[in-house]
Chain A
């Protein structure tokens, strides 16, 4: 019975929109229903059936549980705001909705259970679109051609004109005065315009309707004016019966554009309320952990900062005020903020400068993105550990084999790499143990400054504790650590924390001042 009801709802629900699509002018209807959100709902009949509905969805990547039982509904005529701190599971959820991968639990589209057979093509045919940042456009093609890639139907004589008109009309509608020509090569456009093209393309309609659009940090490279245009369009689109999932770290955007806000933390939905019931501070509070944890405070008493000349100072390239990162001997410096706000770039910059300086200071880098920045996949564990120290391990012109082996063996024991033989391939290790090898590479070198690029991703808790202890011990011997981390708990091990946003340092917290709330506040602060 229920099943039948939902099927009816689906048919009713999809009809008006597909008719609109047939006319090729979806925006007309969407626009002139302006204040008539309710009438739209009436027209759709049983609008109670959500476009997409998740029941107890779980998803794991190896040992990491990205989603632990999420219930979520996206309805027509509603903008759903999605917020959460690093690793809360937002992007996993987004990929799931877009059909990039499946998961355990029940997924229903228009009330029809599609668990296990939800794919990208399926999602697109059902009108679910996703703006993957920068990932879904071809930089060597023109704006119109990129629209054509997305719409198989745009072919035959005059396709270029039609594709151009399609994307231009949509750009005009969303971003009036955008200054983009359909003939522009996307790769030649500045990043903001590229993002505008990508967003506009997601809303274009040819054969399949567009009903639900997922926008992941859509305004990250747009200026305030253009961002406002986008949010206004989102409101119009929603008013016309469309649905949008908006992910953003700009809480003001979420509060003004969303009807309903879902707060995620640790792979779960921890709060879900109408947007009107949230304020900035209640949102931040919802994202943070329970207050009880906060009371534990710093693990150790804060030390006074030395007055001596700092070991290094560095200013992010985009920093406009006088703030800079300062690190002394024996300090553990935290780089905090949301992922991808310029922390890694800062570390690479400092690393390059240390190496360029030649003699004197020496830097060692611990990669977080192991596959891309750290591991040499064809080598043994021992080779991976010793690469940075090879120049010390020479006997004459040759590498001292006994010496390298002794070093690798020594670190295997000290840091507890679980392997019977350090000559085994590095890829025979689990992710956490590979990470230990990368730590051994850096700690085993003679570098005075160790730069860590969020190195604890996917590392088990036991290993983490061991490594924390080791960092502390090495710092006491005089080493300096620069530690970018996306985990709040790890900041408690830092003497000093710099919070990054948009490639700039926005807060500078000594250990005594460090609270989760402060970090969240500055991470999510609005541009204004």
Chain B
């Protein structure tokens, strides 16, 4: 029995080990990185990536794939940098209609940030609707979300035709908090991992959600609605995607439609790196967050190695391939025992 559990243990620890190795390598190359400031700097971008990865994981859990998460995150960032800060009037499109207007005299509905919240809520609603559509008509999620990626990109360009805007101050404040002892990104990562873990792994409905990825027929036969499961999972993806966009704009302070295009592929890589399976509902929220952090650190690692940042993406790919190869080796060992 021990022979069988050893590979399994190795597989579940693999994400954490790879993060530890890359952190260790960084600290060894540059001991000064092992400081509050260093960690804060290296990991701050891990927060939005971790949110996006968790969003992708929700979709992967039910055997789908979201190719639109990157542009969706960009859309949220654009909305946050405009409407969430200054209401409708912050949109260049609307501002053009009221030239010379004194902000103080404008009607409430043009200036309230509530509109921004409403739009973000609608975004999550669209995600839920997509889940329903994909389930009801048995559509390939890759194609539907591919279409949606164009839609989100188009909406972002409508909201913010050129990079700019300004993040609401409170997001800015939250994202630049300097809590004592532990840098914010680490606290945030722990909280994200904890929240996703509780939601998907510990609640009783979470078991149903994951079960629907493992054996949808059994879930249906036990009397659960697969439609509701798909809606719930896509809505969750929308929610985490929104949080990714908000945290990203808090770091960059301004919005850009193309700001997060790479998140689509990064988030898939993060889920896989974190020990999630592509099909079958086997996922690990904690692993996914760790995977996102590992991918983020790849860039810092290179810069400490004095390797050109051009290779950052390559390093991410290499880490992904190495971890997948290790997993294949472990699987083979497991089969032999």
Q: Is the pairing of A and B real?
A: yes
Stretch in A144-152, A166-174, A319-327, A360-368 with 4+ CB within 8 Å of B: A144-152
Q: Which of A135, A155, A179, A187 contacts B217 (CB 8 A)?
A: A135
Q: A135-B218, A138-B218, A150-B222 are in contact. Are A156 and B211 (CB under 8 A)?
A: no
Task: Name which residue of chain A comes closest to B216, CB basis.
Answer: A138
Q: Is the CB of B213 within 8 A of A160?
A: no
Q: Is the CB of A148 within 8 A of B281?
A: no
Q: Is the CB of B207 within 8 A of A137?
A: no
Q: Is A510 an interface residue (CB 8 A)?
A: no
Place the interface of chain B in its size category. 20 to 34
Chain B nearest CB, measured from A119 CB (Å): 10
Chain A CB within 10 A, most for which of B205, B215, B217: B215
Q: Is the CB of A141 within 8 A of B207?
A: yes
Q: Is the CB of B204 within 8 A of A140?
A: no
A-B contact pairs, 9 of them (CB 8 A): A120-B223, A121-B223, A137-B218, A140-B213, A141-B211, A141-B281, A145-B211, A146-B211, A149-B224
Q: Is B135 an interface residue (CB 8 A)?
A: no
Q: Is the CB of A155 within 8 A of B205?
A: yes
Contacts of B280 in A (CB 8 A): 139-140
Contacts of B208 in A (CB 8 A): 148-149
List 13 extra interface pairs beyond A120-B221, A136-B215, A179-B1, CB under 8 A. Answer: A135-B215, A138-B210, A138-B215, A138-B219, A140-B214, A140-B281, A145-B211, A148-B208, A149-B211, A152-B223, A155-B204, A187-B214, A188-B8
What 1/0 mask marks residues of chain A from 127 to 165 whose CB sits below 8 Å from any chain B CB?
000001001111111000110111010111001100000
Q: Is the CB of A140 within 8 A of B218?
A: no
Task: Name which residue of chain B comes closest to A154, CB basis.
Answer: B204
Contacts of B204 in A (CB 8 A): 148, 154-156, 159-160
CA distance A149 to B4 in the complex (A): 27
Task: Name which residue of chain B comes closest to A159, CB basis.
Answer: B204
Query: What 4 A-B pairs come out closest when comparing CB atoms?
Result: A140-B214, A138-B214, A138-B211, A155-B204
Q: Is the CB of B214 within 8 A of A141?
A: yes
CA distance A149 to B218 in the complex (A): 9
CA distance A120 to B220 in the complex (A): 11
CA distance A160 to B206 in the complex (A): 11
CA distance A188 to B9 in the complex (A): 12
Contacts of B197 in A (CB 8 A): none
Contacts of A137 in B (CB 8 A): 215, 218
Q: Which of A124, A139, A154 contacts B215 (CB 8 A)?
A: A139
Query: Total interface residues on A, using CB and 8 Å?
Result: 25
Chain B nearest CB, measured from A121 CB (Å): 6
Q: Is B172 an interface residue (CB 8 A)?
A: no
Chain B nearest CB, measured from A292 CB (Å): 45
Task: Name which residue of chain A comes closest to B215, CB basis.
Answer: A138
CA distance A149 to B277 in the complex (A): 21
CA distance A136 to B282 in the complex (A): 17
Q: Is the CB of B221 within 8 A of A145?
A: no
CA distance A317 to B185 in the complex (A): 54
CA distance A135 to B221 in the complex (A): 10
Task: Name which residue of chain A comes closest to B8, CB basis.
Answer: A188
Contacts of A152 in B (CB 8 A): 223
Within 8 A of A (CB), among B225-245: none
Contacts of B219 in A (CB 8 A): 138, 149
Q: Which of B1, B207, B215, B277 contacts A148 (CB 8 A)?
A: B207
Chain B nearest CB, measured from A74 CB (Å): 21
Q: Is B332 an interface residue (CB 8 A)?
A: no
CA distance A160 to B197 in the complex (A): 14
CA distance A136 to B211 in the complex (A): 11
Contacts of A120 in B (CB 8 A): 221, 223
Chain B nearest CB, measured from A235 CB (Å): 28
CA distance A141 to B213 in the complex (A): 10
Q: Which of A132, A145, A156, A179 contacts B207 (CB 8 A)?
A: A145
Q: A149-B208, A155-B204 are in contact. Are A139 and B221 (CB under 8 A)?
A: no
CA distance A124 to B281 in the complex (A): 26
Contacts of A135 in B (CB 8 A): 215, 217-218
Contacts of A187 in B (CB 8 A): 214, 282
CA distance A140 to B63 in the complex (A): 12
